[in-house]
Amino acid sequence: MSKPLATCIGLLVALFFSWPVWANAPLQAGDMAPDFLLADGEGRMRQTSEWRSRWLVLYFYPRDDTPGCTAEAKAFNASLPELAAFKAEVVGVSVDDVASHRAFANSLGLKFPLLADTDGKVSRRYGALNDFAVMKFAKRHTFLIDPDGRIAKVYRDVQPAQHAAEIIADLKRLRAQ
């Protein structure tokens, strides 16, 4: 092997093994929630700071109008009064577009915003993106964000119909601490 080739391979190996572990570390409780600016189903731009001073249930879901996503959205919608008692608001995010979100929200009578992350950048920042080159969709992950903008809890194994109740139980526990 020539010396320039060996040097090049050595540099590549060193770069690979010195790549920071934190560069791809998943978000966890205690981390600051990444900021976002996304359009809702009405085309209005919404940003993270709107929910400061309140609890935020930021849930990522695969697709509008699918069985699991519909069950999860309905459960959150039905739980809004109880969540409001904890000063918590719900926001859904998927890679579907604004028109799809509008139709989905209207068909279910949703009283919370659905945000269009059509390029998947926000979902990726939250570690909630399945990207298969020709197709991408959000993973069913939820981030419970405290009033200061810190992640209080991460949910990566979500049962859509029971998830709202799980969030409420955790809010009760966190409030008691």
DSSP string computed for 20-59: -GGGGPPP-TTSBPPP-EEEETTS-EEEGGGGTTSEEEEE
Residue 92's φ and ψ, nearest 5 degrees, are: -100, 150
69 a catalytic residue:
yes
Counts of helices then strands in the chain (DSSP H, E): 5, 9
Rounded to an integer, what distance in angstroms lies between the CA atom of residue 111 and that of residue 126?
A: 24
Which contiguous run of DSSP H or E holds residue 160?
none
Nearest by Cα to 45 from 109, 113, 146: 113
Of the candidates 113, 103, 123, 104, the residue with the CA atom closest to the CA atom of residue 80: 113
Measured between alpha carbons, how far is 145 from 8 in angstroms, rounded to an integer? Answer: 45
Which one of the listed residues 69, 98, 115, 145 is annotated catalytic?
Answer: 69
Q: Which residues are catalytic?
A: 69
